[in-house]
Amino acid sequence: MNNPPRLAIAGVTGAVGQEFLRILEQRNFPFASLKLLASARSAGKTIEYQGTTYTIEELTVDSFDGVDIALFSAGGSASKKFAPAAAEAGCVVVDNSSAFRMDPGTPLVVPEVNPQEVANHKGVIANPNCSTIIMNVPVWPLHQKFGVKRVVVSTYQAASGAGAAAMAELEQQARDWVAGEPITQDIFGRQYIWNLFSHNSDIDPATGYNTEETKMIKETRKIFGVEDINVSVTCIRVPVLRAHCESVNLTFAQPVTEQQVRDALAEAPGVSIIDDRENNVHPEPLVASDEDDVYVGRIRQDLGQPGGVGVEMFIAGDQIRKGAALNAVQIAELLLEKVPA
């Protein structure tokens, strides 16, 4: 791989694609060249970036000749079609879709948790699901120190998780409601503003779990490298533009005090504690939006678990940044560092 690498972004016109550009600039990510890729309908449009005008090219199987790293956020079907072609051309793909996450030969990486897995790639590295990343950044250091046996999590997921169109529709619904007009319902097929509902992914009729919930269960086990951690999940859409929140209940293998949890999180990379009980100041979507860290608060002993083995906390993280684009760029940074296995 060249250093600086020749870089490509697939799906550059989407919310995560645009965030890739912002984060690359903010983190001074080095690149020798930059190729911007999207669907045929966006091909030919131009983007001004760091003083240079780039013309968007159509994403094809031939797009990756002379590219070292490609950041993908073009959707699962596009990833399945084009990522193998990119890898065949000698490019390393960091893929934001679910296409390869559970493939045994594809590393599934959260840099704060398992950076060493980057070295095991065969041309594709998978970015985990946004809710999985946001949960695991603070849960992993606790698991390392105390051993987490069970996680019970309820998510409060923003429109950003469904893309730019969903964010735009939530804004439009607010305008519709204020104007007394019929509520636009093109994305979710229901009123979103002043409402919340079960995550819009498909529900397995046999288990009752939706796809988003199943992702969090399976991906956590793969990222942690353990099969005996029990994860129970309920995923809910809430009328928030950006940044997901999660209520997390942990059961440890040993008694753990609230202070021990606070001390461990204070040292954890990618975590910031906001926990002011007196003034009721805790993690909120507006606080987490456009931020890199996962915010943790409401840290308290779970009085429903005897023996001091349970802890409750509430977390918030920007789905577009740490839940997607930032995590992918951090993986690309690890590629440049040649992290050993």
- Residues with a catalytic annotation lie at 130, 244
Place of tokens 């797009």: 63
Q: What is the DSSP string of 253-268?
A: SS---HHHHHHHHHTS
Q: Is 93 helix (H, G, I), strand (E, B) or coil?
A: strand
The answer to whether 316 and 243 have CB atoms below 8 angstroms apart is yes
Strand 148-157 relative to strand 92-95: parallel, antiparallel, unpaired? unpaired
Amino acid (1-letter code) at residue 7: L
Structure tokens that stand for 257 in this block? 């005090």
Q: Is 199 helix (H, G, I), strand (E, B) or coil?
A: coil
> How far apart are alpha carbons 184 and 158 in whole angstroms?
18
Which residues, 6 or more positions from 306, have their beta carbon under 8 angstroms from its beta carbon? none
- CA–chain centroid gap for 227, Å, is 22
